[in-house]
Structure 1
Amino acid sequence: MKSRIVIVVLLLAVFASCESQLTKTPDFISEDVVFEDESLTEAYLASVYNRMEFIDTGGEGTLNMGMIPAAGAEHINFANWQTPNSTYRRSYTAAAGPGPLNYWKYGAIRDLNYLLENIVNSESLSEEYILQKSNEARFLRAFIYFEMAKRFGGVPLITNVQEVDDPDEELFPARTSEQEIYEFVMAELEDIIVTMPDAKSGASGRADKYAALSLLSRASLYAASIGNFGEVQAEGVVGISPSSVQAFYQKSYDASKEIIESGMFALYNKHDDKMTNFSQLFLDEGNEEVIFAEVFEPIIRGHGLDNLATPAGFLSTWNSNYPVLYDFVEQFDFVDGRKGTDISRDDLTSENLWDIDDFFGMRDPRFRASVFYPESVWQGDLAYFHSSTTYTNDAGERVTVSSGTLDRNGEAWPAACHPRNARNTALLLRKRLDESNQEPIAGRSGQDFYVFRYAETLLNFAEAAYYLGNTAEALDALNQLRDRAGMPLLTEATEENIRQERQVELAFEGHRFWDLIRWRIAPQYLDKVRTKGLVFNYDLDADKYAITLKNAEGEERTFGPERYYLPISLSLIADNPNLTQNPGY
């Protein structure tokens, strides 16, 4: 059992209330005494942690865990009715609003403001405890504002509890500029870091000094990128001033360097086999690479990742839900130095045969740990993705079959895989799956979600160092990651390889979509693009595969320049006429 934040969540039954009711007196316990008791204070704060959505676990069977990777064209979902697919397929409009990508958590902000205003008046709690909980609350509030800024740009900045009799200008605040929101986030984090103890609790789900430094590292890098590659619009409501870029890169560099030099974290490196090592990183919870995690526990607070993602043919009850796009696979290079794009798409024809161990097995071990492909070994068996098998029959005829079983060197070989495995891309998400979970069912997976891990710190450091002119430091950080992965070391740090290394290392962890946006290159990958999947036909005689391309999605993706920000819902503007709409909507 994980004796972590999930245990605190059990206290919520004692102190349950809707966000909109937090300033009212509960039926069975008065808020006047909440901050006189540590257990009630923990329950109050845990209720906010529980609503943070560090990863979205909404949707049937927690399907929305794949939403941000789907938006970023890393993988899609099995069916178009599933929310992640509707997220990237929909047309964003003022009338429709931001849809499933929405993150407008002023209820949680109000709860945090209430704690910050009232816990300081406690007569029972120690000053040390009050400071600790206040710092946690300020971290969570900063995280929420960062998440809103990266979606909407400037948003109303509210740092006190609003009351119904407040003046209209306080009840209906206008949007603060995007730059001011980022500066608020940075200032809050810089302030609380000073008084947070030099101890680790982030892997257990509680914000600590290093979680705050990690958020500072990430948020500063985002702000610098937007200023570097974007433009200021709508009188500053969206955009970052170019004059602030170097200062923001420096903040990201400094925060990252403080984490690195603390000696508190290191890249996970417990297993000699590089693929095994990268797989186990996400299962060996609480390891030295984890800076801050959202904690899950089967039954108490579980999710359905194993059940959703395991390929058909094994014992999951609802499988094959995250088909990986071949467009993204091409980001993964080969261990012998070949680029992932060196395999020309023109060569993917029914006439050419490929050794599957070369086509996939010789790629970056992080790919093999992250993606199921034909003949991947899982739970002691093979995962199949071929749609048909061609062989020479007893009459000497070449035939192609898609049903039944054939003999392959004395072993049974299915003429075709389960249809679910081949339906979309014939590649599936593997990263973070627990191979020891032999019979996964909904809600019974407990892998933690790593909100911040040391690998991202190195990537943030490399990117900030590069734009500050410290290319040698950038190269060293990148090569630490490549060495851990068993990939050839780079000889120079460039914008291109910094971005590629980030996408490969952090694949399917919810970064790529936002990275493409902050770099202002999203249209290159997401606009007028018809993403691809693969079709595998196995040649039994040659023990190789004919590999061809197919359209993975029914239509081209669309990503116009207005999509760098999400629209403000018209319902919100109706509620608060001082809100202005984002450009392009």
Structure 2
Amino acid sequence: MKIIKQLSRLYIPVLALIGLGSCTDDFLEQPAMGALSEDVIANKDGVEKLLIGAYAALDGAGFGGNAWEAAPDNWVYGTVAGGEASKGSFGGDQPAIDQIVKFISNPSNGYYNSKWKALYEGVKRTNNTLKLLSIATDISPEVSKDMTAQARFLRGHYYFELKKMFNMVPWVDENTEDPKQPNDVDIWPNIEADFKFAFENLPAIQGDFARANKWAAASYLGKTYLYQKKFPEAKAIFTDVINLGVNPSGVKYALLDRFSDNFDAAEENNSETVFDIQMVANDGTGTITNANQGGMLNFPYNSPFRCCGFLQPSQDLVNSFKTDPVSGLPDLASYNQNSVKSDMGITSSNPFTPYTGTLDPRLDWTVGRRDVPFHDWGKHPGANWVREQTYGGPYAPKKNIYWQSTQDIYADQSSWAPGTALNVRVIRFADVLLMAAEAEAQAGSFDVALGYINNIRQRAANPNGFLNQYLDDDDPLAGFNETAFAANYIISDYTMADFGSKESALERIYFERKLELAMEGHRFFDLVRWGIAEQTLNAYFDFQGDITTDVRGGKFISGKSEYYPIPQAQIDLSVGGNGKPTLKQNPGY
């Protein structure tokens, strides 16, 4: 299942010697240490190695800076900046993140340059693949078409990430001679063209699950339409994905019975997988480069996981999972009134009674909270696993945590912080249903949108999906007690009365994305494309700032904060022979 990830570690050293040009980054300033001529690698084996290298760049690791600065799950830029989580740890640890999430950073913040370089490294590798494909003579037309479509899918992904991060970025492709291109042209049409080509030319079934297939390309094309507000086009292609789409193994897309199985390495590459970045633990390298290195900070502090106390879910996020005890629906307007009780300020040695109100069960697969089972590690002890409650709050992330019973297989302890074999979910089928619901609501098809949302809520309400109270607290591996739950869970379907207008339907769809995809890196980018980032995030700063110190002073500024600044290092590197940079900074920086 993870052949590409395993092979990538063999091919990266070879790729480093291939002199096929670069993109707008500091690789331009490095002298060539050696090169393989095009005629040596312009063959099927050489192109395949280049393509695997293009996949290998998906994890964002190893291209300068710390891996977490370019983590592919966007935990800094999408989750923490989106108000779903505090940075965590304490104020003196990685302070550059605090500047990012409070929207007070400047273009010299090194995190932006790390992300830029990692993504353009992916672009460079896809372009090299396409360039060699065009001159290789021993590749059949059918294989060439598949390889080309895979490379263009990957290039579409890398540029999609660049576009949603920085907005105006330079387009460099396999035919570009001078990589110092200006960023004065909107690249959405180019991204759309790459995904459309991939959709029309990729097979539905691939020999390796890691490879993109036809329906992953279709889903990404639909997402590209959605970001451009091309709702009719998005609606049409999402309908095809839902009705006809299969994963690379040929299994029809469907929601898993258990919500939690999406976050268990033992259950991944399944019917809900549209496109994952494949991770593997204990690969023999003695490193965690292929094992979610970008998320190595995001485990409870002073715990069995050793390090480091980052990515602590916010009280705002936790409160979002409250439900009405009668209707079983969330409180969209005033969910932050009467907060879910936490152990803020209570030591682990003092007694604590968890919140007894009604909750959406997805909360306890998303957030680790005091006296609720933390997978099979026993109950979360509270303050003993938190570095500084007053700074980051009392909670811990959970979707990224490996299970005790399978840690020998799926955890990697080769570094000072853990690695895991848990894939990064770029698009999963629940995300497709939510995006489809959004497109349907924009088109006025409220009944169809309602059906998609209720499918997701029904999965969340399935008792087999949230049994997490153990038979024996002293032996967390003993099994589940099928008559007891960790909290008072109530969740119900919406009705057509709730979806009676575009405004009410979209409000509920937007909130459902917050609940279903929480802590998965989407939130900030969703708020921006919906046009509600300013009011939502400034309200978040006001509320959360009364609880934790980390976000005090944060302010989203409309017209500026929607996009991150073009890294100053890249502007400096883009200076041409006339002494002027070709890259232009984003407004407000």
Q: Normalization by structure 1: what TM-score?
A: 0.76
| Residues 372, 18 of structure 1: alpha-carbon distance in 2 compared, 3 angstrom cutoff | farther
Cα distance in 2 between the residues matched to 1:343 and 1:578? 46
Q: 2:379 aligns with which of 377, 382, 391?
A: 382
1:110 and 1:130, CA in 2 relative to 1: closer, same or farther beyond 3 A?
same
- CA distance in 2: counterparts of 1:9 and 1:295, whole angstroms: 11
Structural mapping, 1:152-231, within 5 Å? 152-163=166-177, 172-178=180-186, 181-200=187-206, 204-224=209-229
- What residue in structure 1 maps to residue 480 of structure 2? none
Secondary structure at the aligned position of 2:134 is classed as helix
1:344 pairs with one of 337, 341, 363: 337
User: The residue matched to 1:451 in structure 2 has which SS?
Assistant: strand
Assess, with a 3 A threshold, how the Cα gap between structure 1 residues 429 and 531 changes in structure 2: closer, same or farther.
farther
2:101 corresponds to: 88
Aligned 8 A contact 1:97 1:568 in 2: no
Q: Secondary structure at the match of 2:447?
A: helix
Once the two structures are superposed, what CA deviation does each residue of 1:11-59 show, in whole Å capped at 9, x if it has no partner? 3155131687658998474332223142x32221222222234799997
Check whether the contact 2:76–2:97 (CA below 8 A) recurs between aligned residues. Answer: yes
Distance 1:342 1:305, change over 3 A: same
Q: Report the counterpart of residue 372 of structure 1 in structure 2.
A: 368
Q: Which has the higher strand share?
A: 1
Structure 2 residue 304 is matched with structure 1 residue 321: no
Number of residue pairs the alignment of both structures matches:
499
Q: How far does residue 532 in structure 1 lie from its aligned partner after superposition?
A: 5.9
Residue equivalent to 2:438: 463
Q: What is the SS of the residue equivalent to 2:311? A: coil
Contact 1:307 1:316 in 2 (8 A): no
Aligned to 1:527, what secondary structure does the other structure show? helix
- Equivalent pair of 2:20/2:128 in contact (CA under 8 Å): no
What's the offset of the Cα at 1:138? 0.9
Q: CA deviation at 1:61?
A: 7.7
Cα deviation code 1:297-352 (max 9, x no counterpart)? 113321368974444564222143321110122222327425354572489799xx
Match of 2:394 among 426, 436, 447: 426
Distance 1:317 1:171, change over 3 A: closer
Distance 1:74 1:150, change over 3 A: same
Determine if contact 2:215/2:241 at 8 Å carries over to the other structure. yes
Which residue pairs with 1:296 in the alignment? 279
CA distance in structure 2 between the aligned counterparts of 1:426 and 1:50, rounded to whole angstroms: 36
Residues 104-149 of structure 1: CA distance to partner in whole angstroms, max 9, x if unpaired? 5445434433332331322222222211111111111222222222
Q: Counterpart of 1:564?
A: 562
Structure 1 residue aligned with 2:347 = none
The offset of 1:450, in angstroms, is 1.2
TM-score, length basis structure 2: 0.75
Distance 1:306 1:460, change over 3 A: closer
The amino acid across from 2:563 in the alignment is: Y
Give the conservation status (yes or no) of the 8 Å contact 2:170–2:183: yes
Cα 1:30–1:335 change in 2 (3 A) is farther
1:186 is aligned with what amino acid? Answer: E
Could you tell me how far apart the structure 2 residues matched to 1:112 and 1:98 are? 23
Partners of 1:380 and 1:156 lie apart in 2 by 47
Identity of aligned residues (%): 23
Seen in structure 2, the aligned counterparts of structure 1 residues 194 and 29 have a Cα distance that, compared at 3 Å, is same
The answer to whether the 8 Å contact 2:103/2:554 transfers is: no
The equivalent position to 2:456 in structure 1, one of 458, 481, 498, is 481
Cα deviation digits, residues 512-567 of structure 1 (max 9, x gap): 01001111211223237536669xxxxxxxxxxxxxx7224252322112111223
Output the CA distance in 1 between the equivalents of 2:523 and 2:567: 25
Residues 284, 503 of structure 1: alpha-carbon distance in 2 compared, 3 angstrom cutoff: same
More displaced stretch, 432-441 vs 495-504: 432-441
User: Could you tell me which residue of structure 1 aligns to residue 144 of structure 2?
Assistant: 130
- Aligned partners of 2:388, 2:372: CA distance in 1, in Å? 13
Q: Distance in 1 between matches of 2:228 and 2:111?
A: 21
Equivalent residues in 2 for 1:19-98, closer than 5 Å: 22=21, 27=34, 29-38=36-45, 40-53=46-59, 62=68, 64=71, 66-68=75-77, 69-76=79-86, 77-80=88-91, 81-82=93-94, 84-89=97-102, 91-93=104-106
Residues 420-448 of structure 1: CA distance to partner in whole angstroms, max 9, x if unpaired? 37453111111132223558533541111
Asked whether the equivalents of residues 527 and 560 of structure 1 are also in contact (C-alpha less than 8 Å), the reply is no
* 8 Å CA contact retained: 2:386, 2:395: no
Q: Which amino acid aligns with 2:307?
A: W
In the alignment, what sits opposite 1:546? none
- Cα distance in 2 for partners of 1:448, 1:317 equals 21
SS at match of 2:379: strand
Q: 3-state SS of the aligned residue for 1:582?
A: coil
Larger radius of gyration: 1
Q: Which residue of 2 aligns with 1:261?
A: 243
TM alignment of 1:380-419, pairs within 5 A: 381-385=378-382, 417-418=384-385
CA–CA distance in 2 between the matches of 1:476 and 1:346?
30
When structure 1 is superposed on structure 2, of 5-14 and 100-109 the one drifting more is: 100-109
Q: Relative to structure 1, is the Cα distance of residues 526 and 306 closer, same or farther in structure 2, using a 3 angstrom cutoff?
A: closer
- 2:306, 2:340 → 1: CA distance? 37
1:526–1:559 CA contact under 8 A, matched in 2: yes
The Cα RMSD (Å) is 3.5
Per-residue deviation, 1:88:
1.4
Q: Which residue of 2 aligns with 1:503?
A: 514
Contact 1:278 1:369 in 2 (8 A): no
Q: CA deviation at 1:354?
A: 9.2
User: Equivalences for 1:431-470 in 2 at 5 Å?
Assistant: 431-436=399-404, 437=406, 441=413, 442-470=417-445
**What is the one-letter code of the residue matched to 1:266?**
Y
2 CA distance for matches of 1:133 and 1:3?
18
Change (3 A) 1:568 1:59: closer
Ranges in structure 1 where 5+ consecutive residues have no aligned partner: 164-169, 225-247, 387-416, 535-548
1:75 to partner: Cα distance? 1.0
